[in-house]
Amino acid sequence: MSIGGVDVRAAWETGNTSGYRSVLGHRLDGRGGVVILNNTAISQRTIDAFAEALLAGAA
């Protein structure tokens, strides 16, 4: 991922089952992580974008 034009290494895992969606993200520089659990109709793509924005805010 890129934060302010600087490449930052991150690891992700997404998933969904029976109407639930999730994302687990971790910055490999140790500056932040995020876990999102969702049971609404929000798309996985939207959840992923939100997680990326949260990780960027940990800069």
Q: Say if residues 36 and 47 touch (Cβ distance below 8 Å).
A: yes
Tell me which residue range forms the domain holding 23: 2-57
Query: Nearest CA to 10 among 33, 34, 26, 30?
Result: 26
The encoded tokens of residue 15 equal: 């998933």
The model carries a pTM of 0.80
pLDDT score, position 59: 57
Q: What is the mean pLDDT of each run of 10 residues along the chain (59 residues)?
A: 83 92 94 94 93 83
pLDDT score, position 43: 93
Number of structural domains (the chain) is 1
